[in-house]
Amino acid sequence: MEKQLEKKHTLALRWLHWVNFPLLVMMIWSGLLIYWANPVYAIRIFGYELFKFFPVWFYDTLGIPQRLAEGMQLHFFFMWLFLINGVAYVIYLMISGDWRALLPVPGSLKRAILVTLHDMHIVKKLPPQGKYNDAQRIAYTSVIVMGAGSVITGLAIYKPLQLAWLTTLLGGYGWARWMHFWLTVSFVLFFVVHVVQVILAGWSNFRSIITGHEIVDAETHQPENRPAAQAEAKA
C-alpha cells in the first residue's frame, strides 16, 4: 500500500510542547513545597472528608516538609520561564494558523462527548475530525485557558496589594489561592489523561511530537493516530 509522510507538528510547536513539560513539573513541585506550609484543601461531601490534600505519607515520601523558602525561590524563578513559554505558544498558534486545528467550533461539545463515549467503548460512532478530534480541541484549548488562569490567580496571590483590584475581582485572597490550587489539580488530571491517551494512541502518534511526522496510508488518507477507528473502517 502506498504511504505518505504527514507533517503533524512543526519544530516550534514541538519545542514549545516539550519545554513546557519540565517547566510545569517545576511549577507544580515548587507549588507543593509552598502548599505544605498551609495544607487546607480537601474534597468534602456533606462535611465528610473524602480526601485530604495531602496525606502525611505523601509529603514524607516526596520529601516535601520544611521547604517553603526553597519552594518560593523556585516558584518565583520558574514562573518567568513558564509564562514566557506559554505566551510564546499562544503567539505561535496565532501566527502559524495552528489555532485552526485547536479551537473548539460549534458542535464540538456534542462530538467531544461522542469521542469520549467511543474511547470508553460505549459507542462505535466516531465523528469526523481534523488533526485533533473535538475532545482534543476542547482539552487542548482548556489547558491554555487554565495556564492563563494560573498566571492570573497566581498574580492575585503574589501581589494582593498592588493588584488589589484583581484579587478582589477573584473574590479575595483566600479564593484566589483556592482557585490557584484547583487549577493545579486540573493540570495534573490533564496530564494523567493526556499520557493515558498518548499510550493508547500508540507509538506512531507519540513519535510525531518528537519527529514532527507520521506515516499515513495514501489510500484512505485517514489519520493513523486513531487505530480503533481504522480497525472499524476496515471491518
Q: How far is the CB of 163 from another protein (least distance, A)?
A: 8
Using CB under 8 A, pick the residue from 35, 59, 89, 187 that binds another protein: 35
Number of residues that bind another protein (CB under 8 A): 70
Mask for 138-177, x = binds another protein (CB under 8 A): ---------------------xxxx-x--xx---xxx--x
Q: Between 168 and 186, whose beta carbon lies closer to another protein?
A: 168
Q: Between 147 and 224, whose beta carbon lies closer to another protein?
A: 224
Is residue 134 within 8 A of residue 115, CB to CB? The reply is: yes
Q: Between 55 and 174, whose beta carbon lies closer to another protein?
A: 174
Using CB under 8 A, pick the residue from 101, 113, 117, 144 that binds another protein: 101
Q: How far is the CB of 150 from another protein (least distance, A)?
A: 16
Helices (H), the chain: 11-35, 56-62, 68-96, 99-102, 108-119, 134-158, 164-169, 173-201, 203-211, 227-234
Give dist(CA 235, CA 233) in Å, integer.
6
Radius of gyration of the chain (CA): 21
Give dist(CA 184, CA 191) in Å, integer.
11
In degrees rounded to 5, what are phi and psi of residue 4? Answer: -135, 150
Using CB under 8 A, pick the residue from 46, 57, 63, 128 that binds another protein: 128
Q: Is 45 in the site for another protein (CB under 8 A)?
A: no
Q: How far is the CB of 89 from another protein (least distance, A)?
A: 17
Give dist(CA 113, CA 151) in Å, integer.
29
Mask for 68-97, x = binds another protein (CB under 8 A): xxx-xxx-xx--x-----------------
Q: To which H or E segment does residue 44 belong?
A: strand 42-45
Q: Is the peptide bond before 54 cis (omega within 30 degrees of 0)?
A: yes
Q: To which H or E segment does residue 7 belong?
A: strand 3-7
In degrees rounded to 5, what are phi and psi of residue 45? Answer: -125, 120
Whose cell is 519527529? That residue is 211
Q: How many residues are there in the chain?
A: 235
Q: Between 48 and 163, whose beta carbon lies closer to another protein?
A: 163
Q: Contact positions toward another protein, by CB under 8 A?
A: 1-7, 14, 18, 22, 34-35, 37-38, 40, 68-70, 72-74, 76-77, 80, 99-101, 103, 105-108, 111, 124-131, 134, 137, 159-162, 164, 167-168, 172-174, 177, 207, 210-213, 215-216, 218, 220-222, 226, 229, 232-233, 235
